[in-house]
Structure 1
Amino acid sequence: MSAPSLPQDEYEHLDAFWRAANYLAVGQLYLLSNPLLHEPLRAEHIKPRLLGHWGTVPGLTLIYAHLNRLIRQRDLDMLYVVGPGHGGAAMQAATWLEGSFSEAYPEVPRDAEGMARLCKNFSFPGGMPSHVGPEVPGSINEGGELGYSLSHAYGAVFDRPDLITTCVVADGEAETGPLATAWHGTKFLDPARDGAVLPILHLNSYKIANPTVLSRIGDEELTALLEGYGHTPYLVSGDDPQSVHRDLAATLDRAVDEIGEIQRAARDGTEHGRRRWPMIVLRTPKGWTGPEQVHGRQVEGTWRSHQIPLARPAGDADQRAALQEWMREYRPEELFDEQGRPRAVVTDAVPAGRRRMGANPAANGGVSSRLPLPDVRDYTVTLDERGGAVCSPTEVLGGFLRDVMHASQEQRNFRLFSPDELESNKLGAVYEATDRAWQAEQADVDTELAPDGRIMEILSEHTLQGWLEGYLLTGRHGLFASYEAFIHIVDSMFNQFAKWLDATRELEWRRPVPSLTYLLSSHVWQQDHNGFSHQDPGFLDHVTRKKPEIVRVYLPPDANTLLCVTDHCLRSRDLTNVIVAGKQPQPSWLDKDEAVAHCTRGVGVWEWASTATGDPDVVMACAGDAPTRETLAAVDLLRQHLPELAIRVVNVVDLMRLQPPDEHPHGLPDEEFETLFTTDSPIVFVYHGYPSLIHRLTHGRPNRDLHVRGYQEEGTTTTPFDMAVRNGIDRYGLVIDVIDHVAGLRQHAAGLRQLMLDKRIAHDVHTREHGEDLPEVRDWTWGRPQTRGTSREEGESR
């Protein structure tokens, strides 16, 4: 887009800030000392290890300078999301120039001493990372793994009508699946109640070595692609600073004007329907303003500028001279005074106070508002008998979440995120409070779709997680509901977010943010329609390998405990919570007061199910709804057939209680662990997921007589109980486990053991003939006989 000439004073401010930021970025990449070049560069001024990336820096600093101009002239509330994560030097330079970096790190002031520390500490032991991570003020996107910038940008502006997030999308990043899907945010953004995202696709032609796809398809094809995503793309390109400054300034003005027009029309009701949002395609040379050639090979504008253009300046006098010439071309004497302070020509271009992008509260923990939560006890099911009040736990939870939606309507600070599975996971009650966000076309048969809906559904776990992370990091609250097997799609996104939270624990200037909470339903133990492909509880193994300070895993056994756990998670901060709960009808085991107490403890003895009054002969432990049901059914059998056996039933809600306290904040001390699980009685532990996790979490505990049953990768489209049998967590198999591991029972209870084997055979025959579980399994309730034999003697005679 061509534009009229830029006023000279604006051009000087833009160019000065840009040159100053580029100068500081080069200094961060190379310099150990002498940042103002007060003396000729010597080998001892150069870092021994050169780590970082130059190629994307000039584009990032250019955009930052121009956004400063927009913010100052229009008093905008703006975030800057950096997709090219390797541009850490650019963001640190820009925030140091505007002062927000020094406010976060007072030991790095805006003077020569602070400049020296800024340069030395970049990619240096004990210093700052090379990526745009949480340590950089104003950042909500860790660029270590590409693909999430645009979804973070959209998440940040949902329910923030005055916020504009400018998102720089790297052309390498644009090749990733998560980023490609994130363009569809235009179909979910409500111009009447949400803010706006201004994407800037920065095409500099190369990744680390190869050309990038979008830079080589031509403007016509690229424009068609971006228009198809719902944008009006404006193209700015060139390598002459003056003309690029002029064109980019005019294009940004037009884009912000269009954003304002779209929002005004939607907010005053003069226009309905979806309009194209503006975006910018910026083409500049990779490594612009850096060395044009090194040893006769072209560097600027090629992949050779991606990382360190001059690779050996400490040991190569020619390269050292080239580095000094490179830095002096920015004319640092015009930009900094003798004390290293930025001159007015630089600082006059910077917005004031919280309008600085590095100081925007929304980017540094958010202006967090309290989430109004109703009393969870008002939603609990009434329990007349153990195992009664059979219901879908997630359906019960849906009523609670519906009223959370109602209560947060005024503040609009809570959203649900689900990949087209909210109804499937029995959370449909929330539609009574709000609809699904939707800006695209609607058909007559469509339901629960509205432009202002606060339920986010798209069949992309990547996009949903990115939206939710952006929403949380700017101070709002949310819940991610998904099928258990497919949450693995965001394993790597979880990794990045967990690392982000871990890093922020050391940053006092970042405010705590609401926790990221996953609700995993449609889980491994009941996949009647889907079978083996939908059976994978391994996300819990993945989660529990992260820093213990920021991970929590909950396995509520029934509806009332699910309510208590969810209420707790929605109140928490700076954590990643994982809740696993089934959606199919389940027995209820605890009344509301018992559920509160049990979830508060995280683990406890269920005295009402136990027969031991002192030391038990066996501990029957369980974690998860299906494991709890099968454990209690096994205990019921043992109480009938071996009434003299002393059994202790232990249920685990908070999985991290199994670890010692020096390994996890929720961990049980050894003495408490021994009180529950004893020091020498055999433990038969039935777990929701892979057995190896329980062995890992309990490693080092005194009682090693531990026998864990769990998922063994055995599954198909079959009945719920057949899944239990196939994987060895069924009640009959558990009775056999007790007989095999309790001293003296093998000979004493041989008949009962044979009976349990016969029951497994009968189950197999029945399910293959009738397609459903045995009546005594299907209709079992706590305390009702499960076999024809009602005593040990009858069992042994059979």
Structure 2
Amino acid sequence: MTTNTLTPDLLYKIDAYWRAANYLSVGQIFLYDNPLLKRPLVLADVKLMLLGHWGTTPGQNFIYVHLNRVINKYDLDMIYVCGPGHGGPAVVGNTYLEGTYSEIYPDISQDEAGLQKLFLQFSFPGGIPSHASPECPGSIHEGGELGYSLSHSFGAVFDNPDLIVACVIGDGEAETGPLATAWQSNKFLDPITDGAVLPILHLNGYKISNPTVLARIEHEELEQFLRGCGWEPYFVEGDEPEVMHQLMAGTLEKAIEDIKSIQSNARSNNNTARPRWPMIVLKSPKGWTGPEIVDGLQIEGTFRAHQVPLHPHNKPEHLKLLDDWMRSYRPEELFDEQGRLKPELAELAPKSERRMGANPHANGGILLRDLRMPDFRDYAASVPIPGAPGIGDTHVLGPFLRDVAKLNQTQRNFRVFGPDETLSNGLEAMFETTQRQWDAATVPNDQYLAPAGRVMEMLSEHQCEGWLEGYLLTGRHGLFNCYEAFIHIIDSMFNQHAKWLKVTAHLPWRRKIASLNYLLTSHVWRQDHNGFTHQDPGFIDHVVNKKAEVVRVYFPPDANCLLSVMDHCLRSRHYVNVVVAGKHPAPQWLTMDAAIKHCTQGIGIWQWASNDQAVAPDVVMACCGDVPTLETLAAVSILREHLPELKIRVVNVVDLMKLQPASEHPHGLSDTDFDELFTKDKPVIFAYHAYPWLIHRLTYRRTNHANIHVRGYKEEGTITTPFDMTVLNDLDRFHLVMDTIDRLPQTGDKGIYLKQQLKDKLIEHKQHIEKYGQDMPEIRNWKWSNSI
């Protein structure tokens, strides 16, 4: 763009506003006192510990002031996503200049005293982090989330037709796998029902100490890459502020007009053809407007500008450089004697909720509306007796989720996300009422594809997670279904979201958002044809590391329990809910009424499977997970048939966190309640879905911990039969019975002979599967009998 979009007066004001933002950014990194430089700087004015990132900050300040202008000109509903998250000084400084920050934090007032506090709190004990963080108004993206800015941005605009997300992408961030994949998100955006994302690739050339790939390829190659990803890139390049302001102003107007034209064409003409959305590449020096040379080394435009370029306490000669640097922004032209931004500059900021720091989409709980929910009881599996055959628990859940989507079609606030696994994971009923959203080409044999849909599938767990997080953070609801083993791909994304929830729960002005719900299926015990690579339940261990106020983990043992649990999770707020359930045909244990009671308690004695009524049990058989429940009940049936004098208590765990003490988790059982279930001194044989040591970790403080013996997955697996998977990990019914006998010497010779029979059975089992390729009929056809 070569036209002079800005008048001389507006050019001066925009440059002055940019200088003010830069001044505030440098002040946040360095100053302890003397915020308006009313006297020459002395060492006592400088913080002793300097933390922060300067390099990306001036470019982001430049972008922010120009976004403010187009928001005003076009009356835009826009939020700002800070991909180079360490640019915290920029988002804090700009929300302060627009007034949002002081409205939320009145003690950070728009005067000299407020400036003093603004500077002091930055990267200071008891203050705020150095990156874009939940504490900063307008933020939906944590500074630690490098690589996810673009997927978060798309999640934010799904079902938000009037919203534009300005997504600033660092060129270092652009090297991450999630970001590189996120360029393809434009194939999943419906210009009729969704908003728009305006990516701004901030090409400043360097990471911490290395050049960035996209900054070192030829202009033609970069343009071809971005165009190959389906974008229309516009370039703004240079380092002369006056020229760059004009270029950026004209380019931004062009991009906004392109977006409006695309949306108008699609909405007026019902044009579903995939458009080529605009984006901007801003190429500017790293550390722009900062010190050029320090200690004889080039700083501006190099990797040395990345963090803190001056260290006055270590090198006193840097103090004069800092003073000169801050005065180069001419603060006397920007702030009055009381430290307030001059009125003619303050008027450049948008007003009220048009300010990016005050936009309600960036505080999604404000916009959150309850889902319209069907009655989950209407979808109950028939369980005339315990052990009735089932079609697969997630297949029962599917119609319930289908109708959740259907009931909320008008509100457009619920979506199901997953990496090409919605059908595979047993949720095929979703496609009876909706489609997969897809804006690329289709051919006649494609299935369930449409420009608008409630199901979002891309074979990238990162994108599904990022889309869902952006969707939730802007006030909607959703579910992520995934193969259990591959949810690990988003471990770090879960980390950051859990941290976000933890921090925002303690910020009164942040409203609670809908919970992040995971449905993990195709799990470790039923990966017969995929084998060892697909057998890993370790995400649960990762989840329980987070704050107890945030995480919840559920193992419904059958379909009715799954319906009850999922209804609860979809209604909940501000948690991460992990639900593990099977998709293959499996026995059903509880009627819906019984399931509701059991899931409400989260843990309980299954009296119909126990025979210790009115007496102390000899052993507690505990189980958590669908397959462990099956094997435990099969073990109980063997024990009760061959050792009928034994008194056995069966305890099933749905809510994993019940095992922790109440002092450690809100769902935890009191010691008294735990002892009543598990006794104080009897053996506990615990069959658990995942790695067994987690149960020990959760129960180590309990009275009877020394008597708890846990069987679970111990990293043994292959392509084999379902029952053999349990045998390989000693979780099968035969091993559970032998474990029980080993801890009950009173079983005597009867126990010894039963153990020998079971050892023989294990040999018979191995011979059978190697000959026939399937489990023995007595395993496949086993049924619980109440006549035991």
Question: How would you bin the TM-score normalised by the shorter chain?
Answer: over 0.9
Matched, 1:46 2:46: yes
- Rounded Cα–Cα distance in structure 2 between residues aligned with 1:436 and 1:372: 21
Q: Give, as a single letter, the amino acid of the residue that structure 1 aligns with 2:303.
A: W
SS of residue matched to 1:744: helix
Matched, 1:621 2:622: yes
SS of residue matched to 1:519: strand
CA contact (8 A) 2:479 2:518 kept: yes
Residue 688 of structure 1 corresponds to which residue in structure 2? 689
Residue 128 of structure 1 corresponds to which residue in structure 2? 128
CA shift, 1:13, in A, is: 2.6
Residue 402 of structure 1 corresponds to which residue in structure 2? 402
Residue 764 of structure 1 corresponds to which residue in structure 2? 766
Residue 710 of structure 2 corresponds to which residue in structure 1? 708
* Percent of aligned pairs with the same amino acid: 60
Q: Give, as a single letter, the amino acid of the residue that structure 2 aligns with 1:182.
A: A
SS of residue matched to 1:773: coil
Q: Which of the residues 723, 726, 730 maps onto 2:725?
A: 723
CA contact (8 A) 1:12 1:345 kept: no
Provide structure 2 residue ranges, at least 5 long, that are not aligned to the other structure: none
Q: Which of the residues 745, 752, 755 maps onto 2:754?
A: 752
- Runs of 4+ aligned structure 1 residues displaced above 6 Å come to none
Matched, 1:346 2:350: no
CA shift, 1:784, in A, is: 8.2
Residue 796 of structure 1 corresponds to which residue in structure 2? none
CA shift, 1:761, in A, is: 1.1
Summarize deviations over 1:479-534 as a string: whole Å, max 9, x none. Answer: 00000000000011111111111111111111100000100000000112101110
CA shift, 1:451, in A, is: 0.2
CA shift, 1:743, in A, is: 3.4
CA shift, 1:608, in A, is: 0.3
CA contact (8 A) 1:381 1:389 kept: no
- Rounded Cα–Cα distance in structure 2 between residues aligned with 1:784 and 1:101: 65
Q: Give, as a single letter, the amino acid of the residue that structure 1 aligns with 2:466.
A: G
SS of residue matched to 2:95: helix
Describe how 1:198-237 pairs up with structure 2 within 5 A: 198-237=198-237
Matched, 1:648 2:666: no
CA contact (8 A) 2:272 2:451 kept: no
CA contact (8 A) 1:354 1:360 kept: yes
Summarize deviations over 1:13-41 as a string: whole Å, max 9, x none. Answer: 31122111100000000001111111111
SS of residue matched to 1:18: helix
- Rounded Cα–Cα distance in structure 1 between residues aligned with 2:626 and 2:317: 69
CA shift, 1:364, in A, is: 1.6
CA shift, 1:270, in A, is: 5.7
CA shift, 1:315, in A, is: 4.6
- CA separation of 1:116/1:775 partners in 2, compared to 1, >3 Å: closer, same or farther? same
Matched, 1:667 2:668: yes
Instruction: After superposing the two structures, state which structure 1 stretch, 695-704 or 315-324, moved more.
Output: 315-324
Instruction: After superposing the two structures, state which structure 1 stretch, 357-366 or 688-697, moved more.
Output: 357-366
Residue 251 of structure 2 corresponds to which residue in structure 1? 251
Matched, 1:779 2:778: no
CA shift, 1:271, in A, is: 3.3
- Rounded Cα–Cα distance in structure 2 between residues aligned with 1:56 and 1:289: 11
Summarize deviations over 1:267-324 as a string: whole Å, max 9, x none. Answer: 11263311100000000100000011112211111111100111x2135342111111
Residue 272 of structure 1 corresponds to which residue in structure 2? 272
- Rounded Cα–Cα distance in structure 1 between residues aligned with 2:528 and 2:111: 67
Residue 316 of structure 1 corresponds to which residue in structure 2? 315
- Rounded Cα–Cα distance in structure 2 between residues aligned with 1:382 and 1:665: 33
Residue 795 of structure 1 corresponds to which residue in structure 2? none
SS of residue matched to 1:530: coil
- Rounded Cα–Cα distance in structure 1 between residues aligned with 2:676 and 2:353: 54
CA contact (8 A) 2:389 2:585 kept: no
Residue 307 of structure 1 corresponds to which residue in structure 2? 307
Matched, 1:107 2:107: yes
Residue 385 of structure 2 corresponds to which residue in structure 1? 385
- Rounded Cα–Cα distance in structure 1 between residues aligned with 2:727 and 2:621: 18
CA shift, 1:365, in A, is: 2.7
Q: Give, as a single letter, the amino acid of the residue that structure 2 aligns with 1:573.
A: R
- Rounded Cα–Cα distance in structure 2 between residues aligned with 1:659 and 1:724: 26
- Rounded Cα–Cα distance in structure 2 between residues aligned with 1:138 and 1:272: 32
Residue 732 of structure 1 corresponds to which residue in structure 2? 734
- CA separation of 1:95/1:745 partners in 2, compared to 1, >3 Å: closer, same or farther? same
Summarize deviations over 1:739-781 as a string: whole Å, max 9, x none. Answer: 0012322444211111111111111111111111111110011
SS of residue matched to 2:718: coil
Q: Give, as a single letter, the amino acid of the residue that structure 2 aligns with 1:162.
A: D
Q: Give, as a single letter, the amino acid of the residue that structure 1 aligns with 2:376.
A: V
Provide structure 1 residue ranges, at least 5 long, that are not aligned to the other structure: 791-798
Residue 482 of structure 1 corresponds to which residue in structure 2? 482
Residue 325 of structure 2 corresponds to which residue in structure 1? 326
SS of residue matched to 1:525: helix
TM-score using structure 2 length: 0.99
CA shift, 1:591, in A, is: 0.4
Matched, 1:610 2:610: yes
- Rounded Cα–Cα distance in structure 1 between residues aligned with 2:554 and 2:2: 57
- Rounded Cα–Cα distance in structure 1 between residues aligned with 2:744 and 2:30: 67
Q: Give, as a single letter, the amino acid of the residue that structure 2 aligns with 1:16.
A: A
CA contact (8 A) 1:417 1:456 kept: yes
- Rounded Cα–Cα distance in structure 2 between residues aligned with 1:542 and 1:502: 16
CA contact (8 A) 1:138 1:357 kept: yes
CA shift, 1:644, in A, is: 1.2
- Rounded Cα–Cα distance in structure 1 between residues aligned with 2:31 and 2:748: 74
CA contact (8 A) 2:71 2:350 kept: yes
SS of residue matched to 2:192: coil
SS of residue matched to 2:608: coil
SS of residue matched to 1:404: helix
- CA separation of 1:360/1:746 partners in 2, compared to 1, >3 Å: closer, same or farther? farther
SS of residue matched to 2:728: helix
